[in-house]
């Protein structure tokens, strides 16, 4: 196993603020779901993880939540992760999709980071493009 990755998985989160960018980000292409409240309804869309750290993540999706929205994200696949709460800190439109930057409300659980960084990708995860879907 890569020594940098092992150190990342063993590291404790650092305080948000000046040290925010000192939490290393690791790339991932795992499938994910992003959920938020839209009026009285819960909106859930498919997404794809771009990168993740103890304190935040970036995802891409064909549908974006409102700016500064409270969201929940989870990784999906053969073993879905628990939902983790966060706040949208930025949305960037890119080629018909949106890059969604999320700051977690609590440090990201190790189980989610391991799943994002270490789990093998299926051929479905490598080829599918995220699309929008609503969940009742």
pLDDT digits (tens, 9 = 90+) for 97-111: 999 999 999 999 988
- Residue ranges per structural domain of the chain: 28-120
Residue 59 exposed, middle or buried by CB count within 10 Å (0-12, 13-18, 19+)? buried
CATH number of this structure's domain 28-120: 2.40.10.220
- Better pLDDT: 115 or 2: 115
Comparing 7-16, 39-48, 66-75, 92-101, which segment has the lowest mean pLDDT? 7-16
The pTM score is 0.74
DSSP string, 93-134: EETTEEEEEEEESSPPPHHHHHHHHTSPPPHHHHHPPP----
């Amino acid at each position: 196993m890569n020594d940098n990755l092992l150190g990342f998985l063993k590291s404790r989160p650092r305080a948000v603020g000046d040290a925010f960018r000192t939490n290393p980000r690791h790339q991932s292409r795992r499938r994910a779901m992003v959920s938020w409240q839209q009026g009285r309804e819960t909106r859930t869309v498919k997404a794809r993880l771009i990168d993740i750290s103890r304190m935040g993540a970036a995802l891409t999706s064909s549908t974006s939540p409102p700016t500064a929205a409270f969201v929940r994200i989870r990784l999906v696949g053969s073993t879905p992760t628990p939902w983790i709460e966060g706040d949208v800190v930025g949305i960037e439109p890119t080629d018909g999709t949106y890059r969604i930057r999320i700051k977690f409300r609590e440090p990201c659980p190790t189980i989610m980071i391991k799943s994002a960084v270490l789990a093998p990708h299926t051929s479905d995860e490598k080829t599918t493009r995220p699309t929008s879907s609503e969940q009742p």
